[in-house]
Homo-oligomer: A and B are copies of this chain.
Amino acid sequence: MYELFRKKIEEIISVTDEEFEFCKTMFVPKKLRKRQFIIQEGDVCKYTIFVEKGLLRSFSVDEKGVDHILQFAFEGWWMGDIYSFLTSEPTVYNMEALENSELLLINHPSWEILLDKIPSFERYFRILIQNNLIATQRRLMGTLTKTAEEKYRDLIENYPGCLQRVPQHMIASYLGITPETLSRIRSQKNHKKS
């Protein structure tokens, strides 16, 4: 269960066996079935989540009832709302499994203990957040600069697996376009090919 978890951590910092054993005790495993929610808008986001297996999405719902996807998290990725996690303010996001998933959850007290006991985790989380910031800045600049088609092309280039696992209307939502527009972009591309 913890192989991927350890692997991802050791891509960034090194941990001894004892440290890792301790680390494990700070996390709680949780299985989620497809469509099940783990966090809902209005909840305090009590957990930071590591995805061992499966796929989550986080999204907000606007006053018209339209979804807006903040991010997907595949195996080996983290998900959570840091703001709510740290401040205990209710989150504005929903988080839901798109496939049957296996997760590792850490709550805030355990997270502080972990940072305290193994200081290199301060560095680990700093780097995770940093990478997330870099990716979010790129995506932001993309939304300001690019056409719907360019954004779509960038996405499938960067996350080719995405299309097979995520319903198309959610990809549209992630890109900030309507499902109809995405459908049209895709059919154009297919005609060009042939």
Interface residues of A (CB under 8 A from B): 60, 62, 68, 70, 82-83, 86, 119, 122-123, 125-126, 129-130, 132-134, 136-137, 139-141, 143-145, 176
Contact = CB atoms under 8 A, between A and B. Distances in A.
A23 to B, nearest CB: 18
The 8 closest A-B pairs by CB, nearest first: A126-B126, A144-B176, A133-B133, A83-B134, A140-B140, A136-B136, A122-B122, A143-B143
Nearest to A63: B145
B140 A139 contact: yes
Given A68-B144, A119-B119, A143-B176, A133 B60 contact: no
Nearest to A176: B144
A60 B136 CA distance: 15
Number of copies: 2
A155 to B, nearest CB: 14
19 contacts: A60-B145, A62-B145, A68-B141, A70-B137, A70-B140, A70-B141, A82-B130, A119-B119, A119-B122, A122-B123, A126-B129, A129-B130, A129-B133, A133-B133, A136-B136, A136-B137, A140-B140, A140-B143, A143-B176
